[in-house]
């Protein structure tokens, strides 16, 4: 649990002075002692700061997870709020590709458990080691210099200070220029290629489907090797729900010892929106009690624990309760009348076809499986 606010330098040094987050989006203020403080726009820098200030570098490797509010000043839009929430994981102190594989697999497993994996694409790329990135930087600068007069003012500044940041530009003119820029993956040295191949092989072994996106990059120098994003098309333009990468240079840049690290962060609001979209597709089962007693509560409870979405009817006659079930777009209704309950059974009605049958309560989960 890192502080909600840190010294501004924690983020200004790690996110880059030319980044949109630092230059346009951070909530920064001066406290009574004259110190510049910033509400955290992300949490990786806070974890790295805590690692150094807490003397935890003596206990590597370390695995952390976090959750909590983050703050960015930007135009609120679908899935994007000025106070938003993230969950995330960080694995520090492991140099090999096994760390990349494990961290990405954890993210995939979480999305699987949420029932979202079939709606997600995992895109990965390699940023290579320092030698590879330096070779690529030279090629990129040479290419972009030919378009210097056509680049936006921000990108012209980035071309001088951090040319990889131009690749992240949101300016439409910059995007058109960047579309034909050299690809980093073509400048990987043999060691970086081998590292990336091992990551892909490990993810394949664990059954995590990935797609190589050679245009997926990170503009900051402390990133290296694997970069990845979990992307959905169900939320329109704001399609990234989880993103991360390897940041072997971060802890050293912050004044600590050279420490490899890799992690990801996921936006809780976007995941919630995506869950809402999927739930709309996953039609519920309506449980309709026609008498008194706790049978409907018990049946609903058991069905929910078995993975069904359940709409429990509370009041009204049969007609009204069925109307509510149809309004909720229920796939089937479980009708619990006194006669059925006396036989430890329920009537299951297919709300699309109108067909119905009596089913023993003990067989309910099995017989409803086709309506998932």
Q: What is the full DSSP assignment across 61-130?
A: SEEEEEEEEEE--S--BTTB-SEEEEEEEEEES--SHHHHHHHHHHHHHHHHHTT-GGG-EEEEEE---H
User: Which pLDDT score is estimated for 17?
Assistant: 62
Q: Which residue has the tokens 């229920």?
A: 330
The pLDDT of residue 120 is above 60 = yes
The predicted model gives 330-351 an average pLDDT of 90
The pLDDT of residue 210 is above 80 = yes
DSSP conformation class of 184: G
- Per the CB < 8 A criterion, the answer to whether 310 and 287 are in contact is yes
User: Which pLDDT score is estimated for 236?
Assistant: 64
The pLDDT of residue 90 is above 70 = yes
Position 318 confidence tier, pLDDT thresholds 50, 70, 90: confident
DSSP conformation class of 22: I
Per-chain mean pLDDT for the chain:
89
39-43, 74-78, 298-302, 308-312: least confident range: 74-78
The predicted model gives 327-354 an average pLDDT of 89
Would you call 183 exposed, middle or buried from its count of C-beta atoms within 10 A (0-12, 13-18, 19+)?
middle
User: Which pLDDT score is estimated for 166?
Assistant: 87
User: Which pLDDT score is estimated for 294?
Assistant: 81
Apex 360 CA angle, 354 and 366, nearest 5: 75
| Position with higher pLDDT, 193 vs 155 | 193
Q: Which residues of 33-52 are buried (b: 16+ CB within 10 A; e: fewer)?
A: eeeebbbbbbbbbbbbbbbb
- Per the CB < 8 A criterion, the answer to whether 201 and 142 are in contact is no
- Tell me which residue of 13, 93, 41, 56 sits closest to 260, measured CA to CA: 93
The pLDDT of residue 164 is above 90 = no
- Per the CB < 8 A criterion, the answer to whether 157 and 176 are in contact is no
Helix axes 44-53, 8-15, angle to 10 degrees: 120
Q: Which residue has the tokens 């300016």?
A: 171
90-99, 135-144, 151-160, 313-322: least confident range: 313-322
* Domains of the chain as residue ranges with CATH: 44-129+189-277 (3.30.930.10), 283-371 (3.40.50.800)
Q: In the chain, what percentage of residues exceed pLDDT 70?
A: 94
User: Which pLDDT score is estimated for 107?
Assistant: 96
Reported residue count of the chain is 372
142-156, 166-180, 191-205, 306-320: least confident range: 306-320
Position 100 confidence tier, pLDDT thresholds 50, 70, 90: very high
Q: Peptide bond preceding 61: is omega within 30 degrees of 0, i.e. cis?
A: yes
The predicted model gives 33-48 an average pLDDT of 94
The pLDDT of residue 292 is above 80 = no
The pLDDT of residue 288 is above 80 = yes
């Amino acid at each position: 649990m890192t502080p909600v606010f840190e010294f501004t330098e924690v983020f200004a040094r790690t996110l880059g002075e030319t980044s949109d987050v630092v230059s346009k989006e951070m909530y920064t203020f001066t406290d009574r002692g004259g110190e510049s403080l910033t509400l955290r726009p992300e949490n990786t820098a806070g974890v790295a700061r805590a690692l150094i200030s807490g003397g935890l570098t003596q206990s590597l490797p370390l695995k952390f997870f976090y959750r909590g509010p983050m703050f960015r000043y930007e135009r609120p839009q679908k899935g994007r709020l000025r106070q938003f929430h993230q969950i995330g994981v960080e694995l520090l102190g492991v140099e090999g590709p096994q760390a990349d594989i494990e961290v990405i697999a954890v993210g995939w497993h979480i999305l699987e458990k949420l029932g979202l994996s079939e709606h997600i694409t995992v895109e990965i790329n390699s940023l290579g080691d320092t030698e590879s990135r330096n070779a690529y930087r030279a090629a990129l600068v040479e290419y972009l210099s030919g378009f210097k007069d056509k680049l936006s003012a921000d990108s012209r500044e980035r071309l001088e200070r951090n040319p990889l940041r131009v690749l992240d530009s949101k300016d439409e003119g910059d995007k058109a220029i960047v579309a034909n820029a050299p690809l980093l993956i073509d400048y990987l040295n043999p060691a970086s290629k081998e590292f990336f191949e091992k990551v892909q092989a490990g993810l394949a072994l664990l059954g995590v489907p990935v797609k190589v996106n050679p245009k997926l990059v990170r503009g900051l120098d402390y990133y290296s090797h694997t970069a990845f994003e979990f992307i959905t098309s169900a939320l329109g333009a704001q399609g990234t729900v989880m993103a991360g990468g390897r940041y072997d240079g971060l802890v050293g840049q912050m004044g600590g010892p050279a420490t490899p690290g890799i992690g990801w962060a996921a936006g809780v609001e976007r995941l919630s929106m995506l869950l809402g979209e999927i739930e709309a597709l996953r039609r519920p089962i309506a449980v309709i009690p026609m008498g008194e007693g706790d049978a409907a509560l018990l049946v609903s409870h058991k069905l929910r624990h078995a993975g069904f979405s359940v709409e429990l009817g509370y009041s009204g006659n049969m007609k009204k309760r069925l109307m509510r079930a149809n309004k909720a777009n229920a796939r089937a209704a479980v009708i619990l009348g006194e006669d059925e309950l006396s036989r430890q059974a329920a009537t299951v009605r297919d709300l699309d076809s109108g067909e119905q049958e009596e089913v023993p309560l003990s067989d309910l989960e099995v017989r409803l499986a086709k309506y998932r």
